Amino acid sequence: MTFQILHRVLTLGLCLGALGSTASAQTAPDLKGQKLTASDFGGALQKSFREGWAQPFEKATGAKVTFDSPVSYSKIKAQVESGNVTWDVAQADASFIQKNCGVLFEKIDTKKVAAAGIDARFLTNECGVPSPVGTYVFAYNSEKFAASPPTSWADFFDLKKYPGKRAIYNSVLTGILEIALLADGVPAASLYPLDMDRALRKLDSIKANITWTQSTGALTEAFVNNQVDLALSFSGRTYTAAKSGAKVAVVYPQQIYFWDNWAVLKGSKNKTAAEAYLQYIAEPAQQGRLTELSAYGNANTKASPSVDPLVAEFLPSNPKVKPTAIYQDIAWWAQNYDATNQRFVAWQSK
């Protein structure tokens, strides 16, 4: 799932940071003495959440933010159903929050979120604030394939021209079905509903050449350690590999946008502070700050993160990516994840 995938690996200018904090402090509510707990997937990204979001929010409002990880969907469900909610906000795959909006998560005023500058294409439900944003990418060894680099998803399935193992994270939500259909000639505008039969037939052609990874970090390691030459990877993980010295590049056309949501748990005992926190992290300064700290994209059209050229190369906002980028259909995945995943797992076991 996207929430398991998230992997996504610089720093806000002092002047911009000071201005952003001042602006937020002028409009932030007085929450002195209030506390809230945020649950996320853990790892390096939590440090970015803490530094880019929680610490300035605490300074602006007087509230105290505590982090707990890793987030667990079963724990969210158990907390809400028992009425003993200890997490106030949680990070989750956008399709999970969409499916459970109003059931496990509180509805919020998404008009205010949109007014902050959040791109409407990422606002697919009434509960979640989108961030961070990444892309599923075709990553390849730029040294080995320098003479004839791949240019499309069809090349990912061309074992003759591009031999070798393909690393793929073991999840149906990695874009694996979408890329199979794109490689098989399905137009981007006609991807959904996903044709499972057609996608799995296409995947059969490279099944013996897939190296399944059990963590997103393993995708980075696969390139750093020269274990594979091609991968269905993630923009953030690929950047990390490049930063570590790996000879890795990405194919720009038809990268697939994915994103997480942050939402307030139904029955939160700190709902006012939690909703204020969500509005805060939707603002341009905070969205841009996360990009600078983590090298992941953001969902705010008004954000102006300052990043070095290597980070910019792998961001979803790269001008080489945006013209042909594809947005995952979150509504489709929210309705069809369970059945689709069952078929996918069954296919893997054959």
Residue limits of CATH 3.40.190.10 in the chain: 2-133+258-309, 135-257+323-328
Residue 2 has pLDDT above 60, yes or no: no
Strands 230-234 and 129-141: antiparallel
- Asked whether the beta carbons of 132 and 298 are under 8 A apart, the reply is yes
Give CA angle at 154 (150, 155), nearest 5°.
30
Residue 343 confidence (pLDDT): 98
Distance CA 36, CA 74 (A): 20
Q: In sequence order, what are the beta bridge partners of 248? A: 141
Cis ω for the linkage preceding 70 (within 30 of 0): yes
Q: Which of 2-16, 225-239, 331-345 has the lowest mean pLDDT?
A: 2-16
**Closest by CA position to 174, among listed 347, 346, 350, 344:** 344
- Do residues 292 and 10 touch, judged by C-beta distance below 8 A? yes
- Could you tell me the pTM of the whole model? 0.90
How are beta strands 248-250 and 35-39 bridged, if at all? unpaired
Phi, psi of 247 (to 5 degrees): -85, 85
Residues 6 or more apart whose Cβ sits within 8 Å of residue 79 = 85, 86, 87, 265, 267
CB 259, CB 124: distance < 8 Å: no
**% of the chain residues with pLDDT over 90:** 91
187-216 core/surface letters (b: 16 or more CB in 10 A; e: else): eeeebeebbbeebbebbeebeeebbebeeb
pLDDT digits (tens, 9 = 90+) for 172-210: 999 999 999 999 999 999 999 999 999 999 999 999 999
Handedness of CA 122, 73, 5, 345 (dihedral sign): negative
The label of the residue with tokens 């949501």 reads: 261
Where does 28-67 have alpha helices with state H?
44-49, 55-61
3-state secondary structure of 130: strand
3-state SS, residue 41: coil
Task: Dig out the tokens for 217 from the structure.
Answer: 């970090």
pLDDT digits (tens, 9 = 90+) for 67-84: 999 999 999 999 999 999
Per CATH, the number for 2-133+258-309 is: 3.40.190.10
Least reliable range by pLDDT among 8-17, 137-146, 217-226, 257-266: 8-17
Per CATH, the number for 135-257+323-328 is 3.40.190.10
Task: For residues 264 and 84, give the distance between their C-alpha atoms in angstroms, rounded to a whole number.
Answer: 14
Q: Which tokens go with 122? A: 């990422």
